[in-house]
């Protein structure tokens, strides 16, 4: 758990990371353009590897303006419509004070106590226990909670979760994560497009190459196409992998800091601890992508041997809370498989 004086450093670091991620997006897009050009050259010209690479580099330089425009368009669309896309995935819908005065008042009190603008409130119908914040600026910030969370947590626990998400917004974590998700989405899209295109190039290119090799006699050399194709595929895989690593390499300390920020706002470490215990193993959102799960207060999904886990374990977070602010840990609750009343209860749509 970082000390309070580290919060400002964390916010500044998030700003630098966001700028770095934007730069990384353009770099990875250019890398994919080069790989695509290399695959295209290899598909249509059975020349030496050095000639194909030089030719692909030339085409990449010519394509950079168009690739830059496409990347900017992608960012603009994500900036404007990312909330709608997330709502479409999760089914979240906005709620006003009259529809859910309990939820609205809890968040409003927290915002008033800190003098911060109140984010939009959204509710998604799900028996899962989870919540997440989204948005890139004050006009877009929103906090979404599940109906399962509303039914399972008492007021103090629900306030603690709202304070956790509000701290993510104040610390700039939400903006940084959205930027990371946008990058991963763009790279995955282009990488998949190139991979699919490679087979088309393979099929169409072989016949074209055979025709060229017998007709033009260019003397460029031969045998380099296979090397270039392997090289191009490796570059695409590298770019794809880097986009994932970037997303997962974002500091997990943001969850510790958000937990600490929740305690700072509510002065109630027990509420945050019991909320985490209730959410533990019950936060899986059906139909949500991994990108959405990374935004949640708890993400039960983890990668290979937890290497790519985006959240610290609930146990680690609770131990940090106890060390930082005291409180009592009630201990793990029975898993959903042993508590069908928690797992199986479905919440009727409002």
What CATH number is attached to the domain comprising 269?
A: 3.30.2010.10
Considering the domain architecture, whether residues 27 and 144 belong to the same structural domain is answered as no
Q: Which spans in the chain are helix H?
A: 6-44, 49-90, 101-114, 147-152, 155-171, 173-215, 224-248, 253-266, 269-279, 290-293, 314-325, 340-343
298 found inside a domain: yes
How would you label 318-340 residue by residue, b for 16+ Cβ within 10 Å and e otherwise?
Answer: bebbeebbebebeeebeebeeee
Considering the domain architecture, whether residues 182 and 279 belong to the same structural domain is answered as no
332 found inside a domain: no
Give the CA count within 13 Å in the CB-facing half-sphere of 97: 6
| Torsion over CA: 92, 95, 99, 104 (sign) | positive
Considering the domain architecture, whether residues 160 and 44 belong to the same structural domain is answered as no
- Going from the first residue of the chain to its last (350 residues), give the mean pLDDT of each consecutive group of 10, the final group possibly shorter: 52 71 79 85 78 87 88 82 84 90 94 91 93 89 94 95 93 82 72 59 50 48 73 82 70 81 92 94 82 83 59 89 88 68 44
Name the catalytic one among 41, 159, 165, 280: 165
61 found inside a domain: yes
* CA separation for the pair 35, 42 (Å, rounded): 10
- pLDDT recorded at residue 9: 67
- pLDDT recorded at residue 159: 96
344 found inside a domain: no
Considering the domain architecture, whether residues 125 and 140 belong to the same structural domain is answered as yes
- pLDDT recorded at residue 177: 81
Question: What is the count of structural domains for the chain?
Answer: 2
Considering the domain architecture, whether residues 258 and 131 belong to the same structural domain is answered as yes
- pLDDT recorded at residue 77: 84
- pLDDT recorded at residue 307: 55
Considering the domain architecture, whether residues 162 and 27 belong to the same structural domain is answered as no
Considering the domain architecture, whether residues 16 and 80 belong to the same structural domain is answered as yes
204 found inside a domain: no
Considering the domain architecture, whether residues 161 and 282 belong to the same structural domain is answered as yes
108 counts as catalytic: no
39 found inside a domain: yes
Q: Which residues contact 193 (CB under 8 A, 6 or more apart)?
A: none
Considering the domain architecture, whether residues 153 and 256 belong to the same structural domain is answered as yes
14 found inside a domain: yes
Considering the domain architecture, whether residues 142 and 245 belong to the same structural domain is answered as no
Pick the last residue of a domain from 249, 265, 288.
249
Structural domain containing residue 190: 7-89+174-198+224-249
113 found inside a domain: yes
The residue written with tokens 């019991």 in the block is: 274
* 342 three-state secondary structure: helix
């Amino acid at each position: 758990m970082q000390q309070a004086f580290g919060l400002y450093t964390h916010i500044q670091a998030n700003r630098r990371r966001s700028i770095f991620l934007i730069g990384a997006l353009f770099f990875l897009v250019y890398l994919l353009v080069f790989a695509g050009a290399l695959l295209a050259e290899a598909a249509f010209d059975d020349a030496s590897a050095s000639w194909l690479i030089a030719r692909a580099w030339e085409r990449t330089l010519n394509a950079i303006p168009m690739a830059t425009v496409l990347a900017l368009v992608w960012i603009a669309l994500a900036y404007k419509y990312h909330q709608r896309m997330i709502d479409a995935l999760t089914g979240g819908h906005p709620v006003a004070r009259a529809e859910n005065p309990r939820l609205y008042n809890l968040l409003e009190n927290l915002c008033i106590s800190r003098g911060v603008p109140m984010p939009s409130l959204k509710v998604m119908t799900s028996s899962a226990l989870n919540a997440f914040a989204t948005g890139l600026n004050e006009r877009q910030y929103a906090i979404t909670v599940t109906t399962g969370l509303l039914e399972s947590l008492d007021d103090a626990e629900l306030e603690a979760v709202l304070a956790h998400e509000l701290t993510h917004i104040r610390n700039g974590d939400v903006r940084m994560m959205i930027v990371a998700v946008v990058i991963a989405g763009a790279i995955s899209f282009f990488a998949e497009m190139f991979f699919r295109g490679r087979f088309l190039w393979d099929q169409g290119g072989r016949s074209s190459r055979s025709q060229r090799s017998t007709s033009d006699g260019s003397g460029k050399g031969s045998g380099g196409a296979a090397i270039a194709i392997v090289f191009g595929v490796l570059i695409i895989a590298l770019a794809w992998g880097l986009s994932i690593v970037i997303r997962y390499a974002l500091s997990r300390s943001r969850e510790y800091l958000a937990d600490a920020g929740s305690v700072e706002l509510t002065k109630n470490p027990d509420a945050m601890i019991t909320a985490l215990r209730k959410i533990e193993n019950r936060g899986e959102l059906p139909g949500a992508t991994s990108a959405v799960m990374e935004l949640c207060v708890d993400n039960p999904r983890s990668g290979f041997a937890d290497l790519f886990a985006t959240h610290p374990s609930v146990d680690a977070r609770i131990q940090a809370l106890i060390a930082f602010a005291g409180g009592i840990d009630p201990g793990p609750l029975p898993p959903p498989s042993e508590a069908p009343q928690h797992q199986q209860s479905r919440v009727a749509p409002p």
